[in-house]
Amino acid sequence: MEAVDTTGAGDAFNGALAVFVAEGNGIHEACRKANRAAALSVTREGTSPAMAYRSEVDSL
């Protein structure tokens, strides 16, 4: 993967982290999954359109 636009990466991470913690994941596992969401988001242009789908995060 190559970074295209880092705008919104922090938002992607924080949103995903909140979801994974709310689902009952431990903080380390939630951070690991949230990092995947942020990594995917920087491979696309923009902010909202760059957010990854759950299936993409799970399969990465």
**pTM: predicted TM-score of the whole model, two decimal places:** 0.90
Domain ranges of the chain: 26-60
Q: Give the residue among 18, 14, 20, 7 at the shortest CA–CA distance from 48.
A: 7
Indicate the DSSP class of residue 46: S
pLDDT value for 19: 97
Residue pair 42/7 in contact by the 8 Å Cβ criterion: no
Going 30 to 32 to 37 to 42, the CA torsion angle's sign is: positive
Tens digit of pLDDT per residue, the chain (60 long)?
A: 789 999 999 999 999 999 999 999 999 999 999 999 999 999 999 888 889 888 999 898
Residue pair 5/46 in contact by the 8 Å Cβ criterion: yes
Residues with a catalytic annotation lie at: 11
